[in-house]
Structure 1
């Protein structure tokens, strides 16, 4: 039987160590960058180094567990336990020399998240949650924002990698929300966005066509911080809204309004 407290301690250590790797290579002119699906979908040598570092730990400590990671995909092992890893969320920011990026690690059991860790090394923010035990930022308990009005809220979003070739690219929703909120942010790292919703630094968030590794840790951290995550199942990929109950419903109402106008 897995000891959740010990596992959480290990994962925090792995995330912090991975952050040191990322800091070591950050803004190096010799950084190797490759293109994946499109010209805006990048992978760097640090994505791969970060993933290798984390996956080696998982294989050493939990060799019978399955793994799903952004760069390596799904492992061959079949298990009720699944580690979901985004070794470097915000690769474009990283490659550009912008300090907003993070490592995201989650552990699921029978598709239910047991623990989640998101670490942003340059700003030194470690977001941590385990099932039923609350959410924390650098050891301090956190909770989602209590704001209920969009015009008083700062919310975040992002855009899919295929935005240049797919009309379902979030641009219509983005334009609609601009005059309706206090501030609209596009930070370029979904896991970090979700973690900041959990901490109340962002009042809400929506995005379309995400992947499991983008949200696995962040979803649990939000829920343990008293927030909601609503999935837009009619949209492509993983599309969701996050925040407190009231803000989630108001974001949903505006998205439905835009959809009904199309």
Structure 2
């Protein structure tokens, strides 16, 4: 409870900060890593996460989307996405979040034992511990899903995508732009499934939302059905992910 509550506070503080900050240079590109760019807003959000962790007395190693691995000699690692859905955020689209997932050192992607995902444009925080999943601190369960599938794929991957979509005839397909919230949407029953075949996702994007979903009985796989065997010692790519509700 104490760890979960502390992670909730950090995530919510960063979300509130991002909701209120005003700066004409937020979308200025600071650096490029792989196919993604770090913008000033990402850097500001990450700095706020580090401040929050210090304030809560959490001296963990950190793996963050922007800075990679920060080693502090801890037996724990917190995997951070300071701003998931940055394009939505900069466009004023209210589907973006802050996420933190806590692991024992040497853990794998599905081993997180506490975490939190805070929406930026609403006062909603999703969290989990070893006992269960919570919405605004209240234990939650999965509802009957709606006929919606959230999917991401390139034009060359249509045949793979169709194999997934054929399992959900009549479902509407959406791409909303925040992997963490997309997955939570499925886990709470607002959608039937989520998938991303593009090879662009990283462990930081989904670590916390996966922890939330696992407590609700949903386990993701790769496209071929194999387990997601990804470490969290640093930022790692995920070639494909499928989550079925």
- Interval containing the TM-score (normalised by the shorter chain): 0.7 to 0.9
One of 41, 47, 50 as aligned partner of 1:55:
50
SS at match of 1:157: strand
Q: Structure 1: give runs of 5+ residues left out of the alignment.
A: 245-262
- In structure 1, the residue matched to 2:242 is 241
Residue 75 of structure 1 corresponds to 70
Contact 1:42–1:92, Cα closer than 8 Å, also in 2: no
Shift of 1:59: 4.4
2:128 aligns with: 129
Q: CA deviation at 1:44?
A: 2.7
* Contact 2:61 2:77 (8 Å CA) reproduced: yes
For residues 28-39 of structure 1, what are the structure 2 equivalents within 5 Å? 29-34=24-29, 36-37=32-33
Deviates more, 1:235-244 or 1:217-226: 235-244
Q: Using the alignment, how far apart are the partners of 2:25 and 2:50 within structure 1? A: 25
How much does 1:102 deviate?
A: 0.4
1-structure distance, mates of 2:170, 2:207: 27
Q: Say how many residue pairs are matched.
A: 225
Question: Could you say which residue in structure 2 is the equivalent of 1:230?
Answer: 221
**Aligned with 2:20: secondary structure?**
helix
Q: Given the alignment of the two structures, is residue 205 of structure 1 paired with residue 201 of structure 2, yes or no? A: no
Query: How far apart, in 2, do the equivalents of 1:62 and 1:138 lie?
Result: 21
Partner of 1:106: 101
Distance 1:94 1:128 in 2: 21
Distance (whole Å) between structure 1 residues aligned to residue 227 and residue 132 of structure 2: 30
CA radius of gyration, larger in: 1
1:192 to 172, 181, 185: 181
Quote the RMSD (CA, aligned, Å): 2.8
Residues 13 and 52 in structure 2, CA contact (< 8 A), matched pair in contact too: no
User: Cα gap change, 1:123/1:94 in structure 2, threshold over 3 Å: closer, same or farther?
Assistant: same
Give the distance between the partners of 1:42 and 1:134, measured in 2 at CA.
Answer: 35
Residue in structure 1 matched with residue 12 of structure 2 by the alignment = 16
CA contact (8 A) 2:83 2:97 kept: yes
Report the TM-score when normalising by structure 2. Answer: 0.79
Give the Cα separation in 2 of the matches to 1:140 and 1:234.
Answer: 30
Partner residue, 1:215: 206
Q: Provide the rounded CA distance (Å) in 2 between the counterparts of 1:49 and 1:124.
A: 20
Q: Secondary structure of the equivalent of 1:191?
A: helix
Which of these residues, 138, 150, 156, is aligned with residue 156 of structure 1? 150
**C-alpha separation between the residues in 2 aligned to 1:222 and 1:16?**
20
Deviation at 1:172, TM superposition (A): 4.2
Flag structure 2 segments of 5+ consecutive residues without an equivalent.
Answer: 229-236
- Cα deviation 1:169-215 (Å, max 9, x = unaligned): x4444466388342111011101111112211122111132211111
Given the two structures, how large is their TM-score scaled by the length of structure 1?
0.75
Hey, what's the Cα distance between the residues in 2 that align with 1:79 and 1:239?
Answer: 30
Contact 2:203–2:238 at 8 Å: present in 1 too? no
